[in-house]
Structure 1
Amino acid sequence: MANLRHALIGGVALLGVLVLAPTRAADAGATTLGGADPSVIKVGGLYVAAKSVDGGIAIRTATTLAGIAAAPKKQVWSDTGNLGEVWAPEIVHQDGRYHVYFSAGRSAAHRMYHISSATADSGYSAATKVALPGDKWAIDGVPFTYQGQRWFVWSGWAGDTNVEQNLYIARMTGPATTTGARYVISQPREAWERTVGNPYINEAPEPILDPNGRLHIVYSANGSWSSKYCLAELRLRAGGDPTYVWDWYKSNGCLFGSYAPNMMTGWDATLYVDGPGHHTFVLERGDIATSPPSGNRFPTMYHAVAKGTPYSWSNRYWYTGTAVWWGNVTYRRANVPGPTTDLGYGLKFFE
């Protein structure tokens, strides 16, 4: 039985698309794949996912996005060197090879590592440490190319202690090498991203280009151990420098979350899941040059906990969702250099 769902967007009730009526919270985009931190790309007719499992990294491939959950896992890397906890692998396909970036370590020793292969689910290289400037605690790193320059963006600490997690960017010269300094582009300093802390966090950055070619980085805020975990974004001003923090404009609240008081005005809290976060844009080869145009919704995946289920890391599952570019969105700021407002595309996320 199908029904018509209405969504309240920007204070106006808009007639939504025809969707299946969920019978319970877990039906809304839920998969059977437990865990966190989805990373999925599309290579031709194949969806390729990377996941941290069994002390290493597994790859799943399927011909549909929903099919990822039931696809057999193929272990492509194991922590034979005893690096430590293996977190949040991110997969991309560049220069004819699959590249997986992940964080490994214990406590303050977490650093970014890289493996690669010519084949999606076998033949991966040994792990190489990514040479990030400053050599500090680092997680959730992902490479991308913007205006002909390769970049790497990640979540890390300013020093050697767990005070807060910031987002950093650096220029890349190779799959595991960078050049120059690291530059902070976001810190968790807004009230809505400091609802849950100790530490306060900005993490899981995911780059994407809007229909005007402007760079966005969607990230997760508030503690991942809390149902107040959510997605927010940074938008680079037109003609801006990715290394200059004040050229980035931050959304004025969460764009996808379950805690209504933290949502940006005009963006509604989720109906079926709690604490959605650490998402992936399902882009061709993971390349932001293939970012979707305006108009139609495009696929995403994220992790969350079904409403009515106690919120815990062990209750997280991968969910399918969609997003759409939303025009004429103003982001505002105060007491910083440069213009206080910026108009451009934002993102609407749907369960």
Structure 2
Amino acid sequence: MHTWPNPFIEQRADPFILQDGNHYYFIASVPEYDRLEIRRADSLEGLRDATPVVVWRKPESGPMSELIWAPELHHIENKWYIYFAAAHTQALDSLGMFQHRMFALECTNADPLTGIWVEKGQVKTPFDTFALDATTFNHQGKQWYLWAQKSPDIAGNSNIYLAELSNPWTLKGEPLMLSKPEYDWECRGFLVNEGPAVLRHGDTLFISYSASATDENYCMGLLWIAADADPLKPENWQKSPHPVFTTSNENRQYGPGHNSFTKTPDGEDVLIYHARNYTEIEGDPLYDPNRHTRLKLVHWKENGMPDFGIPPADTP
């Protein structure tokens, strides 16, 4: 059984690991929220000590100039893409923190660490509101875009949406809202559904997501659909009424969430997430740098559902 040091990488929130060919790639939010950096290694364990390479820095002004959040790295048709959320300096000054939009970068070189990254601009959605935490995946022969966004006519901070892509930075057709905060555990501190991540197992497609404020109330929820069902029909989706991964007071692991998934070389599913090991946060939790990246195996129940267990304690 695989276990990893806990924390796996310190002071890296919103972690994302891509397994591509013989390499693993790691990207995450940095505490300064000012740049995008990638690590690469030949193994999962090697990511801990891999040297981060800065591939993009935020400009001094404009729509991508503040609070660079939750990047993801994807390899689509032999090109590399990074999705990330960013805020505009002027909007931040006048309207407050939650003014992010989603943006995409493209690299057509073989090596994303040394290649040239080109800004493809904002990923536009039907309404121009707070948006963040995009991911992408291929399913049923189509490329999909999955993200969190504030709806103008739904209370709360963000819901989960799904749309097909015509290219990696352009939506095709009308998005479907998959989930909105409705249960108590999704509405603590803030009404939040964010950070969606895709996991396939057997004949089911799962989407995990994070809910509530980014303190000890942060936790993970779960959606799922039959792999052969139409993902744009809301009646095909199911939602867990209970969180699937939550704070462990016993193990001193608080606010686990904003996860992604990867696999070991043996094909075991790995949950990548962040959590703190204390609750005494001064000021806004988003500016506390100690949401550390952590890894644990996903186990599977006999009924085909994932069992995320509880967040393991820090290792000595």
Output the CA distance in 1 between the equivalents of 2:266 and 2:307: 13
- What is the aligned counterpart of 1:228 among 217, 235, 244? 217
Indicate conservation of the 8 Å contact 1:99/1:114, yes or no: yes
Query: What corresponds to 1:345 in structure 2?
Result: 305
SS in 1 for 2:19: strand
CA gap of 1:134–1:32, structure 2 versus 1, over 3 A, is: closer
Output the CA distance in 2 between the equivalents of 1:223 and 1:187: 14
Indicate conservation of the 8 Å contact 1:303/1:318, yes or no: yes
Say which one has the larger Rg. Answer: 1
The answer to whether residue 80 in structure 2 is matched with residue 80 in structure 1 is no
- What is the aligned counterpart of 1:218 among 208, 226, 232? 208
Indicate conservation of the 8 Å contact 1:140/1:205, yes or no: yes
Q: Which moved more, 1:126-135 or 1:80-89?
A: 126-135
Output the CA distance in 2 between the equivalents of 1:39 and 1:275: 17
Query: What corresponds to 1:36 in structure 2?
Result: 13
SS in 2 for 1:67: helix
Q: What letter corresponds to residue 243 of structure 1 in structure 2?
A: L
Aligned length: 290
Q: What letter corresponds to residue 223 of structure 2 in structure 1?
A: L
- What is the aligned counterpart of 1:202 among 193, 204, 213? 193
Output the CA distance in 1 between the equivalents of 2:167 and 2:59: 25
Output the CA distance in 1 between the equivalents of 2:165 and 2:124: 10
Query: What corresponds to 1:274 in structure 2?
Result: 254
Output the CA distance in 1 between the equivalents of 2:54 and 2:135: 21
Query: What corresponds to 2:273 in structure 1?
Result: 302
Indicate conservation of the 8 Å contact 1:133/1:180, yes or no: no
Indicate conservation of the 8 Å contact 1:184/1:243, yes or no: no
SS in 2 for 1:240: coil
Query: What corresponds to 1:109 in structure 2?
Result: 99
What's the TM-score, normalizing by structure 2?
0.82
Query: Where do residues 1-351 of structure 1 align in structure 2 (5 Å cutoff)?
Result: 29-53=6-30, 54=32, 55-80=34-59, 82=61, 83=64, 84-105=66-87, 106=92, 107-117=97-107, 118=109, 119-122=111-114, 123-159=116-152, 163-194=156-187, 196-197=188-189, 199-212=190-203, 214-224=204-214, 226-237=215-226, 239-258=228-247, 271-283=251-263, 297-306=268-277, 308=278, 310-311=280-281, 312=285, 313-328=288-303, 344-349=304-309, 351=312
Q: Give the % identical residues.
A: 28
Output the CA distance in 1 between the equivalents of 2:201 and 2:309: 14
CA deviation string 1:282-338 (max 9, x = no partner) = 259xxxxx995xxxx4222211012x563543221111211122232xxxxxxxxxx
Aligned-pair distance for 1:111?
1.0
CA gap of 1:208–1:298, structure 2 versus 1, over 3 A, is: closer
Gaps of 5+ in 1: 1-16, 20-26, 260-268, 285-289, 329-343
SS in 1 for 2:69: strand
CA gap of 1:321–1:18, structure 2 versus 1, over 3 A, is: closer
CA gap of 1:299–1:32, structure 2 versus 1, over 3 A, is: same
Aligned-pair distance for 1:78?
1.2
Output the CA distance in 2 between the equivalents of 1:178 and 1:140: 15
Output the CA distance in 2 between the equivalents of 1:140 and 1:174: 18
Aligned-pair distance for 1:28?
5.7
Aligned-pair distance for 1:66?
2.8
Q: What letter corresponds to residue 250 of structure 1 in structure 2?
A: K
CA gap of 1:81–1:326, structure 2 versus 1, over 3 A, is: farther
Output the CA distance in 1 between the equivalents of 2:130 and 2:10: 28
Output the CA distance in 1 between the equivalents of 2:68 and 2:120: 12
Indicate conservation of the 8 Å contact 1:321/1:349, yes or no: no
SS in 1 for 2:235: helix
What's the TM-score, normalizing by structure 1?
0.75
Indicate conservation of the 8 Å contact 1:133/1:178, yes or no: no
Indicate conservation of the 8 Å contact 2:134/2:148, yes or no: yes
Bigger fraction of residues in strand: 1
CA gap of 1:45–1:272, structure 2 versus 1, over 3 A, is: farther
Indicate conservation of the 8 Å contact 2:218/2:257, yes or no: yes
Indicate conservation of the 8 Å contact 1:299/1:323, yes or no: yes
Aligned-pair distance for 1:221?
1.2
Indicate conservation of the 8 Å contact 1:137/1:157, yes or no: yes
